[in-house]
A and B are shown apart, each in its own frame.
Chain A
């Protein structure tokens, strides 16, 4: 929830900030130069070591957060800063206001997207008690900017864990996938929770799931995007969920160029309709690559293939099919739990 301080502008003396840094982080870490900031409108003005006052609470600003995207690794997000909460020494992520409107392309389709601090703040309130989302609160700064203060999640990206499971795909699929599928179903159920409340995630990608090492749960992060939807309000979210399931089932992306170069006999069995509708260099019909994948699971993947005749409109439809697939995967792995 917001701790809105519309009436008075919260601030802090330089000496008080220095004393807090010394107390929480050690006297040798007090910087010689820093600013006290209450208005974050120009986020480029917020420098390393500055102290930002939000809702009477001081945050000691550290580095930019980074994100790999569109083939650009470690692209800095200048409006997202790691910070130390000087009231208790904990690490937080500050997301400053950055309104952005742009078009993204999925399978040749342009989708108009908006970055909205209000949306993320609204969802933070909604998911405050939900274990499968990042947590945090929001505050209006002295200029009325909606700054989100997020709890730091200790742990790696979920997708990076997956590719290390098993010695090869068969080992992964028979010995680890049942658990992975359960985790995935939990993540889809979390998205259903948003959809049931009329909210979209807006940017469902596999690098937007963090495995919380302390709580042993997977958490969706970064839900400040909204997209201009058509008839199907949740279609874009669902295509994101489909791509993640294809990744998890394949123990990584199964890429057409790699098959062409390394497994020509498998490549020769593929048709255009077997490919991923969103990313046409990836295979969606994975049963053609890994024949032991149960039909019930492969049928879900085919909803996200070029050859699909029908698409999922809701997470309920997908969860219904996932329950059947789960039963078949359990039979296959010989485990009952």
Chain B
């Protein structure tokens, strides 16, 4: 290992950037509380709270206005929840400037892929997700975002919080 590698390691140490994928579920709240408890005293941890809202198909709605209203309500509700998550983190000692929130409304076939795309852009060193504890049958029909991330993440660690 040469001097250059050491300095590189040191730089990465000071930029411990966690990408935390959240939604409105109880397990997302548990993820945030776990991180607050685990990293609250750590001055070098930077957290990006990411919420992906998959743009729903027009097929789910009888009219465009219904679809627009659904999206508006969903965005408003998620913004409120993200604010709550931020408060949990600041309450545990995180500085405001160490927390970023990103709410992304986008069409996507896989939320897991969308989270990993964000990771690739931000170059976070850890992706943190919760696990819903879905049944075998549910995973068969719906798939599992945490499994997708575990299997497809590259150049980062993955933390799955139960």
Residues of A with Cβ closer than 8 Å to B?
99, 101, 106-109, 111, 114, 116, 118-119, 198, 226, 228-233, 235-236, 239, 277-278, 306, 308, 311, 313
Contact = CB atoms under 8 A, between A and B. Distances in A.
A26 to B, nearest CB: 41
B141 A231 contact: no
A230 B143 contact: yes
Contacts of A229: 142
B60 A233 contact: no
B144 interface: yes
A236 B56 CA distance: 17
Interface stretch (B2-10, B32-40, B86-94, B104-112): B104-112
Interface of B: 56-60, 62, 109-112, 135-145, 147-148
Interface majority SS (helix, strand, loop, mixed), chain B = helix
10 shortest interchain CB distances as A-B pairs: A232-B143, A230-B142, A231-B143, A116-B59, A226-B59, A119-B59, A233-B109, A107-B137, A231-B145, A99-B62
Interface majority SS (helix, strand, loop, mixed), chain A = loop
Given A99-B62, A231-B148, A239 B140 contact: yes
B16 to A, nearest CB: 27
A109 B143 contact: no
A277 B57 contact: no
Contacts of A233: 109-110
A119 B62 CA distance: 11
Nearest to B109: A233
Contacts of A239: 140-141
Nearest to B138: A109
Contacts of A277: 136-137, 140
A134 B59 CA distance: 20
Contacts of B58: 116, 118
A236 B141 contact: yes
Nearest to A311: B140
